[in-house]
A and B are shown apart, each in its own frame.
Chain A
Amino acid sequence: MYVAVKGGERAIENAHSWLAEERRGDVAVPELGIAQIREQMALAVNRVMAEGSLYDTDLAALAIKQARGDLIEAVFLIRAYRTTLPRFGASLPVDTGEMRCDRRISATFKDAPGGQVLGPTFDYTHRLLDFKLAADGEVPPAAQAKPQEGPVPHIAGFLNRDGLIQTEAPSDEAPPDLTRDPLEFPANRALRLQALTRGDEGFVLGLAYSTQRGYARNHAFVGELRIGRVAVEMELPELGLAIEIGEVELTECETVNQFAGSKTEPAQFTRGYGLVFGQTERKAISMALVDRALRWRELGEDNLAAPAQDEEFVLSHCDNIQATGFLEHIKLPHYVDFQSELELVRRLRADTEALHEAAE
């Protein structure tokens, strides 16, 4: 238990003003603008929006500036801001089948209808530092080609038609919301997906990797990965119609996984699902793998006691703001606790010494 302490106001004030000065850095170097962060640190902005669970590029950029680039601190600022917003309602579920894709690839179908579109990817770059970026440089315009027309259907849809993959039961049931009600176990899949999409990228990545290395392995293929923009629609009761209230960039990953079938069911592929704000591909793939691992019970698989199968372990520890809060509180004054421990240790030592003396 930490205790209230008094005093230190002057020192705290001075620490804050020094923090502001350190944040600014060398004044001979031009100050970063919010628009610069938004435009040129876009993937950091995306991560802060995803884990902050609030889609607003300018706010995420501001949070990154204020946090001096500490992304978890920036997520913390966004989460705190989010709690001050009145909730206008919930959107209709976004239709990712209508996504305007910047990127869309499949590792399972070479000739996916709608094509394989690489988009602005780091894949196939050589991961060599580019020293041209250290100097100011003009970027040549990106190549353009005739935009493709027509929809880009989900790959899972084709497998579904042949009954080769498990179907997702359509439903319009209102999902639970962990920002309104505390997590309870067992959690349904909707609640698990909400926790994972705002979970820490590093934590979710580590768990996903553990499934690949054999801790509840489920042989995932990336059936489809798509990144692009979708419209967000909401019903407005005052107008009696649903309108678009904006658009968000999303990354969606659908995995195709093994399934051995059973006495009653023919062999069929199963699925894992990842959907994350922004261009956040590593996170979306990780989310899909962990989602699939957590489904062991409903798919009649064995509990192998792997970390990624344990929903209480995964959901209770994937939130980096909860984790940070509890972890960092131990640096706050614990003087009373510590004082009592100190007393105890001293007494134990005195008792032992007395015993030794008596023995001699």
Chain B
Amino acid sequence: MDRRDWMGLLARAPADVLDRLWQGLGLAPAFEWLRPPEVGGVMVRGRTGATGAPFNLGEMTVTRCALVLESGTVGHGYVQGRNKQQAEKAALVDALMQEDAADRIRAALLEPLATQMQATQDRRAAKAAATKVEFFTLVRGED
């Protein structure tokens, strides 16, 4: 799991699950804000005909922040939506994943989070699979 993976996971994490897993770690590292949590918009783009030139589809809400631990390690948080506490936790996890605590955080927070999010996805995929159809064309009455 590299930085791209864990930042992506934290961005999409359900806030309550992330909160519970973070509380379970019992960590409260001291830090200073480089950029306090800020809510903004990101313009989501699509492609014409799925593969052609980009166009602007509409915006989504995103909350971001950056902080520095006492050790000097910098953490960035980018999360979907408007939850500033979630952005703070994402940035703390990002910073701690660059330190000695990485293995512990991976095992106690990131992996269970990934498992739970994957299970939610799998349940949806299983329901979609149950609605898969085979259409048969019938011979019509006319010539």
Binding site for A on B (CB under 8 A): 3-4, 7-8, 11-12, 38-62, 64, 66, 76, 78-82, 121-135, 137
Cβ of B60 and Cβ of A90 under 8 Å apart? no
A49–B57 Cα distance when bound, in Å, is 11
CB-CB < 8 A to B50: which residues of A? 96-97, 154, 156, 168, 252, 254, 273, 275
* A263 contacts partner chain B, Cβ-Cβ < 8 Å: no
A254–B51 Cα distance when bound, in Å, is 11
A168–B52 Cα distance when bound, in Å, is 5
A144–B124 Cα distance when bound, in Å, is 9
The number of residues on chain A lying at the interface, defined by a beta carbon within 8 Å of a beta carbon of chain B, is: 81
Shortest distance between the CB of A293 and any CB in chain B (Å): 15
Number of A-B contacts (CB under 8 A): 234
Q: Show 8 residue pairs from A and B whose CB-CB distance is below 8 angstroms, ordered by the A residue.
A: A56-B82, A88-B64, A94-B47, A118-B132, A145-B129, A171-B54, A234-B42, A245-B79
Closest chain B residue to A233, Cβ basis = B8
The prevalent SS among residues of A at the interface is mixed
- Given A144-B123, A194-B55; A93-B76 close (CB under 8 Å): no
Cβ of B137 and Cβ of A56 under 8 Å apart? no
Cβ of A55 and Cβ of B131 under 8 Å apart? no
Closest chain B residue to A86, Cβ basis = B40
- Given A54-B58, A193-B55, A238-B76; A142-B42 close (CB under 8 Å): no
A62–B30 Cα distance when bound, in Å, is 36
Q: Which of A119-154 contact B (CB under 8 A)?
A: 119-120, 142-148, 154
* A101 contacts partner chain B, Cβ-Cβ < 8 Å: yes
Cβ of B44 and Cβ of A94 under 8 Å apart? yes
Cβ of A190 and Cβ of B56 under 8 Å apart? yes
Shortest distance between the CB of B93 and any CB in chain A (Å): 13
